[in-house]
Chains A and B, each alone.
Chain A
């Protein structure tokens, strides 16, 4: 049966029609919010009064954000958390991937699956579990520390009194960093494991012939071959770390903890909009954060760029 002409697509239109689902969704959920937040960054707006109540204020929101004590405090918190959770992630993931790669054969998938599990677990479940673990008087972490402090020789290394993880300003950040580290180390391990599998065996064979030991092979063969993946992994960690939101938000009950010690910039942005009702300033904050993320990503790029023609 032949359909009437008007319902047919011309060959020229076909690619556009087939692309349109993505393009439309991207415009609605990608481009529009971006443009709207950029627009909002120059407005003052009482949201409950409707869209008509926006007023253009020029760079006021940016001026406010840059001179805002809390913005800098949140940026400091974010950088601290990104470093303290990001650096160990890679320092642990690379040797771990190497170890899994060389020592496990048949059980490798099960082992790597166990490490990957935290990454796909729901944040709410994680937060509930960790707030129970971190509990001052009844938590497993403090219970373990207390048990360790009773040991005869090493006991002195561990605190005798229970640590108030989530309510004491100086403990909030390490607690959050621990959770973030735990959550993403498996993801990075998978990345490095994939990269390890692409390193040709003959390089190792040649290295063995030259008399290189296991340690030398790791240092002179594995690590340089992993460099592109390290660059990729570090970039992801930089971007993800600077936009950290979920873990600190849930662990500190949305407040950022005592003295806002765990309030990241993304959290401050969210609170400025939805708690303090200042969407203009929140948009300005988000663009400042974007500039910061872009800058650091560029620096990462520079750091990993091959130096000299030989590399």
Chain B
């Protein structure tokens, strides 16, 4: 057949196709769809809530779009930048809230019809403030928080002849205890010296100070807070108290399994991870305490947001209310996924009084509840990711190449100031 005889589509068949397409479209409209974009384990929490959702909205299908943590935030950045393919409900992790808020792509939930401020007292204070942008807009609703805690191996401590207070009194006591642990049992105090730095730079911040950069754009990385953090980390490394392994590596979980890591500072949720998959066989050997030297910090936390370009905002808001303001939902998420509730209403539930088997029957949830009230908000700056990278790189140089602490911090400051000026 010659090429010019090729017909692209015969007239009658084309019409039939068009009709079919219309039919399909009208069918799809009868069933509304609400898209929720989330990462693990928030996706599971959202999916578990769908039975209740269906009772209220039998005709609204909820599509939970789940991606790996980093992929999720990359996809959301792309969606916001092109204002296309936006979900109706966007779950955002703490570290990204400020970044997304600054771009102005998220609904202000303090405005009508949301008026979230009327519910402010029902949330853990620091979490609610984290959801408030510099402009005063409340761009997110906190769902779960990660109150910081020190998990330690009670058996190792006992062998070294130490008690909990030896770890928590002060940072110097913590390091001294580490030396005793190492001599008595051979176990390392921490997985990585960097972990100590990470918590010290986050403690004792005055309100509005900012972690790396303050609200006026001043770089803070050579402040006493950083000097102390770097010196402590250096001390830990010099005394050979760290195993030089990063969190979430194979060696890390192996260290927990074999009992070569005596303590780990993290969000309360880590106890759940240890119990479920990291080191279930160490059940009963761990205990939780507050962080050393009354440091109050938080690790992570999830927030629900509505993008400005979302199609079903009213439904999205209903969904978010169900996830964040319904005590039963909050409790379910805590029980199933160790998602510590941001909703204060449920903090007096009997579940908090229950002993945790993994922690040797300790009622640790009460401890974490206490901590959650004392955590202060750390203002987030959009350059925080690069600041963290700069500080960590200088930390590496101090730990591995013996670079002087003050020189390292001055270099970090210079590098960061260059970025701020841009």
Residues of A at the B interface (CB closer than 8 Å) are 3-4, 7-11, 14, 44-51, 53, 60, 64, 69, 131-132, 135-138, 164, 167-169, 253-255, 258-260, 271, 274-278
Among B5, B11, B251, B383, the residue within 8 A (CB) of A4 is B11
Within the complex, the shortest CB–CB distance from B81 to chain A, in Å, comes to 4
Within the complex, the shortest CB–CB distance from A113 to chain B, in Å, comes to 30
Identity of the chain A residue whose Cβ is nearest the Cβ of B422 in the assembled complex: A64
**Cβ B104 vs Cβ A49 within 8 A:** yes
Is B24 part of the contact surface with A, judged by Cβ < 8 Å? no
**CA of A254 to CA of B11, assembled, Å:** 54
**CA of A47 to CA of B83, assembled, Å:** 10
Within the complex, the shortest CB–CB distance from A287 to chain B, in Å, comes to 18
Q: Specify the main secondary structure of chain A where it touches its partner.
A: loop
**Cβ B3 vs Cβ A14 within 8 A:** yes
**Cβ B396 vs Cβ A138 within 8 A:** no
**Interface residue count on the B side (C-beta < 8 Å):** 43
**Cβ A253 vs Cβ B7 within 8 A:** no
The 8 closest A-B pairs by CB, nearest first: A48-B103, A47-B81, A49-B103, A3-B7, A259-B396, A48-B80, A7-B7, A14-B3
* Known contacts A46-B103, A168-B400, A259-B397; A10 and B10 CB within 8 A of each other: no
**CA of A225 to CA of B7, assembled, Å:** 52
Within the complex, the shortest CB–CB distance from B194 to chain A, in Å, comes to 10
Give every chain A residue within 8 A of B7 (Cβ-Cβ).
Answer: 3, 7-8
Is B235 part of the contact surface with A, judged by Cβ < 8 Å? no
Within the complex, the shortest CB–CB distance from A276 to chain B, in Å, comes to 4
**Cβ B385 vs Cβ A9 within 8 A:** no
**Cβ A50 vs Cβ B81 within 8 A:** yes
**CA of A164 to CA of B104, assembled, Å:** 44
- Known A-B contacts: A136-B245, A167-B246. Give 6 more (CB < 8 A): A50-B80, A50-B105, A137-B254, A138-B251, A138-B254, A271-B389
Residues of B at the A interface (CB closer than 8 Å) are 3-11, 70, 74, 77-78, 80-83, 99-100, 102-105, 244-246, 248-251, 254, 382-383, 385-386, 389, 393, 396-397, 400-401, 415, 422
Identity of the chain B residue whose Cβ is nearest the Cβ of A9 in the assembled complex: B4
**Cβ A135 vs Cβ B4 within 8 A:** no
**Cβ A69 vs Cβ B415 within 8 A:** yes
Identity of the chain B residue whose Cβ is nearest the Cβ of A68 in the assembled complex: B418
Within the complex, the shortest CB–CB distance from B392 to chain A, in Å, comes to 8
Within the complex, the shortest CB–CB distance from A162 to chain B, in Å, comes to 11
Within the complex, the shortest CB–CB distance from B386 to chain A, in Å, comes to 4
Among B8, B74, B245, B254, the residue within 8 A (CB) of A7 is B8
Identity of the chain B residue whose Cβ is nearest the Cβ of A2 in the assembled complex: B5
**Cβ B251 vs Cβ A137 within 8 A:** yes
* Known contacts A7-B8, A259-B400, A274-B77; A47 and B245 CB within 8 A of each other: no
**CA of A164 to CA of B242, assembled, Å:** 14
Identity of the chain A residue whose Cβ is nearest the Cβ of B307 in the assembled complex: A48
Give every chain B residue within 8 A of A132 (Cβ-Cβ).
Answer: 250
**CA of A48 to CA of B100, assembled, Å:** 6
Among A7, A11, A137, A168, the residue within 8 A (CB) of B3 is A11
**Cβ A48 vs Cβ B11 within 8 A:** no
**Cβ B385 vs Cβ A275 within 8 A:** yes
* Known contacts A137-B251, A167-B246, A277-B382; A9 and B80 CB within 8 A of each other: no
Among B3, B10, B254, B400, the residue within 8 A (CB) of A3 is B10
Among A46, A132, A254, chain B packs the most CB atoms within 10 A around the CB of A46
Q: List 8 A-B contacts (CB under 8 A).
A: A7-B11, A10-B4, A50-B81, A132-B250, A259-B396, A259-B397, A274-B77, A276-B386
Give every chain A residue within 8 A of B389 (Cβ-Cβ).
Answer: 255, 271, 275-276
**CA of A217 to CA of B117, assembled, Å:** 85
Among B74, B385, B393, the residue within 8 A (CB) of A260 is B393
Give every chain A residue within 8 A of B74 (Cβ-Cβ).
Answer: 274
Identity of the chain B residue whose Cβ is nearest the Cβ of A46 in the assembled complex: B103
Identity of the chain A residue whose Cβ is nearest the Cβ of B247 in the assembled complex: A253
Give every chain A residue within 8 A of B81 (Cβ-Cβ).
Answer: 45, 47-51
Give every chain B residue within 8 A of A3 (Cβ-Cβ).
Answer: 5, 7, 10
**Cβ A46 vs Cβ B244 within 8 A:** no
Identity of the chain B residue whose Cβ is nearest the Cβ of A10 in the assembled complex: B4
**CA of A169 to CA of B104, assembled, Å:** 40
Identity of the chain A residue whose Cβ is nearest the Cβ of B403 in the assembled complex: A259
**Cβ A277 vs Cβ B99 within 8 A:** yes
**Cβ B100 vs Cβ A8 within 8 A:** no
**Cβ A169 vs Cβ B400 within 8 A:** yes
Give every chain A residue within 8 A of B249 (Cβ-Cβ).
Answer: 131, 253
**CA of A109 to CA of B6, assembled, Å:** 44
**CA of A132 to CA of B245, assembled, Å:** 14
**Cβ A50 vs Cβ B397 within 8 A:** no
Among B103, B246, B386, B401, the residue within 8 A (CB) of A47 is B103
**CA of A4 to CA of B100, assembled, Å:** 55
* Known contacts A11-B3, A14-B3; A48 and B397 CB within 8 A of each other: no
Give every chain B residue within 8 A of A4 (Cβ-Cβ).
Answer: 11
Within the complex, the shortest CB–CB distance from A257 to chain B, in Å, comes to 9
Identity of the chain B residue whose Cβ is nearest the Cβ of A164 in the assembled complex: B244
Give every chain A residue within 8 A of B400 (Cβ-Cβ).
Answer: 168-169, 258-259
**Cβ B246 vs Cβ A131 within 8 A:** no
Within the complex, the shortest CB–CB distance from B82 to chain A, in Å, comes to 6
Give every chain B residue within 8 A of A168 (Cβ-Cβ).
Answer: 400
Give every chain B residue within 8 A of A254 (Cβ-Cβ).
Answer: 70
**Cβ B102 vs Cβ A48 within 8 A:** yes
Identity of the chain B residue whose Cβ is nearest the Cβ of A137 in the assembled complex: B251
**Cβ B393 vs Cβ A259 within 8 A:** yes
Give every chain A residue within 8 A of B386 (Cβ-Cβ).
Answer: 275-276
Give every chain B residue within 8 A of A255 (Cβ-Cβ).
Answer: 389
**Cβ A11 vs Cβ B100 within 8 A:** no
* Known contacts A135-B250, A274-B74; A167 and B102 CB within 8 A of each other: no
**CA of A3 to CA of B14, assembled, Å:** 13
